[in-house]
Structure 1
Amino acid sequence: MSTSVKVFWVLTIGEFILGTLGNGFIALVNCMKWVKNGKFTSVDFLLTSLAMTRIVQLWITLPDSFIVGFFPHLYATGELARAFTVLWTLNHHLATWFATCLSIFYFLKIANFSNSLFIWLKWRMNSVVLVLFLGSFFLLFVNLLIQDSFIEHWKGTYRVYERNMTLNDITETFQRHSLVISLIYVIPFLLSLTSLVLLFLSLVRHTKNLQLKSLNSKDSYTEAHRRAMTSVAAFLLLLIIYFTVCLTANWILFEIQRYQAIMIIMMFSMTFPSVHSFIIILGNRKLRQSALRILGHLKLSGRKTRP
């Protein structure tokens, strides 16, 4: 096993463990709150659904990475590749749109504008988020069709040489598939970006009003704006990094046909859901307080066990 493969597996397993713990913590805290209080708010539902889909996504990506790393010939027929592709596409779609709906929910819940359209949307924000999420399944259908066409073309050009995997007779079909799939995710990106910009404009407006009234600019409403903007901005930044790396790795795969490009895509497929879970925990007061209590108990238990 080469050094690059060893590094890849150390990073991949580390991201898998951290991502499972982070997303599992979010789901567990919200479910415990549901059992205790008997109610499940919209934001709790979105956070829990996002965490659970990302846990499934991590558990799909890990065995997929294991097969690519040690048994790439299993993908030669395309059937196993199709199964993993469908499962991964479904969960990645759900995770992306749950995060997008969370961004839109933060915007409608926190921002304040006098525009009649915004007021109408704000009063119906749960319905708005639901309609957007259900409408996204049309994009999922298109994505699955493209992926299926990709696998069929893959079966005709896939060859295995000893331990390395290479592609023979690569055509422009792969580039077109990657481009169309990337365009599909432009929609949730633009929706989240719009939410972030409007949240910023709402914060600027609110801050100016406080300054005119000579009030403290660090009120709870301002802090809610900033926490929401941090969460949305982190999601957008990670999404940009993820797709930039994937598109770059795909170009390397198409043009240079390097096996390492596939490992990079697999690794960053875990980085996104793993890192974002901890950003959500830090940006959510309830989750942050629960995490601090657990860390406090662990620290206290560690002191008691010392001789």
Structure 2
Amino acid sequence: MDNNLISPLGIFTWTIIEGISMVAILGNGFIIVVSGNRWLQTRKMVPSDFLLTSLSISRVFWHVTFGLSYVLEVSIGDIFMYSSAQEAIDFISTFSSMASLWCASWLSVFYCVKVTNFANRFLLWLKPRINVLSVRLLGMSISSLVFMSVPFFQHYAEAKKRCNLTGSLPLNTSQRNDCKFLLLIFRHFQVIVATMNFVISITATILLLTSLWKHTRNLKKSGIDAKDLSAQIHINVMKPLVLYIFLYLSYFAGILNFASHSVHNVDAVELLSDVLRTIFPAAHTITLVLSNPKLKALLVRTLNIRQKVNLVSKDEKTNQISKC
């Protein structure tokens, strides 16, 4: 176990990360419960809800495994490090992280195609088909993760076998570190997936901004109030999407640092990378809840009910005390 993890900076950083993860788990859990309840009632799930639910499930897996990895590393140290349990947890964490990126990207594309009003043949062809295509594209993307990861798994297996064969032989410091941190092999895979999703998301955002600009310009030329329903829909969709891009930039910076920085000893730069990678999914989840009118209304109603229940229980306790 690295001593920097239990240093004051490490404890402070991981306290923040665990707090952010708890908020993210609660937010994503709320989305899953709401979507699951709707599905139980109607036995149907619209594509937007399916993409949103898939995104929340993948993020719950990521936050749970990410936090669990730290807890086990600090609590049992070397017993957990480099064990089969660590491998399984890290594999699940890596896969769920990349799966969540695909879910978020296709959710952005879904809203972009639904809202934009370009007179483009491809977009006009895509608009009525995006409900079905978005779900299929997500399935194809998750399947591609499996196929793309095969070479990295082969490299990992070969490196692990080589380290096991030479385990009883004296190795230099660099070779020992390489054997201890075999999972670093998947870092470049994460960078590739993050780059692909960033390009997709930024393209959807640019298309949406361009569509809004053209729509507003046409309204001004026609002498119509620019604040019509279509423009308002553009703005409502654009706000969370633009915020998502800014959050993605911080996450992407964390991924690049994560891929290029040496983690043979955890230091402040590596801890900062973990914070950046944790803030992105948590903040995006909160944005999705607050920007969705149905989810926001249900959340407010739930919080109000709990507040009323707490007030009633306090009044009952006060009455009991006064009677005594």
Give the TM bin, normalised by the shorter chain.
0.7 to 0.9
Farther-moved stretch of structure 1 (130-139 vs 113-122): 130-139
Q: What is the aligned partner in structure 2 of residue 121 from structure 1?
A: 126
Return 241-250 or 297-306, whichever deviates more: 297-306
Does residue 13 (structure 1) correspond to residue 18 (structure 2)? The answer is yes
Residues 35 and 78 of structure 1, relative CA distance in 2, 3 Å threshold: closer
Whether the aligned pair in 2 keeps the contact of 1:78 and 1:151 (CA below 8 Å) is no
Cα distance in structure 1, aligned partners of 2:183 and 2:42:
50
Report how far residue 19 of structure 1 moved. 0.9
Is the partner of 1:253 in helix, strand or coil?
coil
Percent of residue pairs bearing the same amino acid type:
24
Change (3 A) 1:84 1:147: farther
What is the aligned counterpart of 2:116 among 105, 111, 117?
Answer: 111
Aligned residues: 296
Task: Calculate the TM-score normalised by the size of structure 1.
Answer: 0.83
Structure 2: distance between partners of 1:85 and 1:246: 15
Return the index of the structure with the highest Cα Rg.
2
Q: State the shift of 1:154 in Å.
A: 7.3
How much has 1:45 moved relative to structure 2? 1.1
Instruction: Say which of 39, 45, 56 aligns to 1:40.
Output: 45
Residue-by-residue CA offset, 1:223-273 (whole Å, 9 max, x unaligned):
22122222222333222212312332444425x843555544444443232
Is residue 2:81 matched to residue 1:79?
A: no
Please say which of residues 115-124 and 73-82 is displaced more in the overlay. 73-82
- Name the aligned partner's letter for residue 184 of structure 1: V
What SS class does the counterpart of residue 185 from structure 1 fall into?
Answer: helix
User: What is the aligned partner in structure 2 of residue 143 from structure 1?
Assistant: 149
Q: Which residue of 2 aligns with 1:241?
A: 250
For 1:147 and 1:234, the matched residues in 2 are separated by: 34
Counterpart position of 2:291: 283
- Structure 1: state its 5+ residue gaps: 158-166
Unpaired runs of at least 5, structure 2: 1-5, 165-172, 319-324
Residue equivalent to 1:294: 302
Residues 268-287 of structure 1, C-alpha deviation per residue, up to 9 Å, x if partnerless?
44323222110101111111
Moved more, 268-277 or 94-103: 268-277
How far apart in 2 are the matches of 1:177 and 1:40? 34
1:27–1:51: 8 Å Cα contact kept in structure 2? yes
Partner deviation per Cα, 1:143-174 (whole Å, 9 max, x = no partner) = 354256357647949xxxxxxxxx74467x99
> Residue 249 of structure 1 contacts residue 264 of structure 1 at CA under 8 Å; is this kept in 2?
no
Deviation digits for residues 207-232 of structure 1 (CA, Å, limit 9, x no counterpart): 12222333332333222212222222
Closer, same or farther: CA 242–228 of 1 in aligned 2, 3 Å: same
Alignment of 1:203-214 (within 5 A): 203-214=212-223
User: Is 2:32 the partner of 1:27?
Assistant: yes
Which residue is equivalent to 2:73? 68
- Of the structure 1 ranges 145-154 and 267-276, higher mean CA displacement relative to structure 2 is found in 145-154
Deviates more, 1:112-121 or 1:240-249: 240-249
Asked whether the equivalents of residues 113 and 202 of structure 1 are also in contact (C-alpha less than 8 Å), the reply is yes
TM-score computed with the length of structure 2 as normaliser = 0.79
Q: Cα–Cα, structure 1 residues 180 and 284, in superposed 2: closer, same or farther, change >3 Å?
A: same
Equivalent position of 1:162 in the other structure? none
Q: Once the 2 structures are TM-superposed, how far is the Cα of residue 37 of structure 1 from its aligned partner?
A: 4.5
Question: Residue 254 of structure 2 contacts residue 274 of structure 2 at CA under 8 Å; is this kept in 1?
Answer: no
What secondary structure does 1:186 align onto? helix
- Larger displacement relative to structure 2 (191-200 or 33-42): 33-42
Q: In 1, distance between residues paired with 2:185 and 2:87?
A: 18
Task: Choose which of 104, 107, 111 in structure 2 pairs with 1:102.
Answer: 107
Kept in 2, the 8 Å contact 1:24–1:55? The answer is yes
Give the CA deviation at 1:46.
Answer: 1.0
Give me the whole-angstrom Cα distance separating, in 2, the residues matched to 1:113 and 1:60: 42
State how far apart, in whole Å, the 1-side matches of 2:79 and 2:139 are.
35
Name the counterpart of 1:215.
224
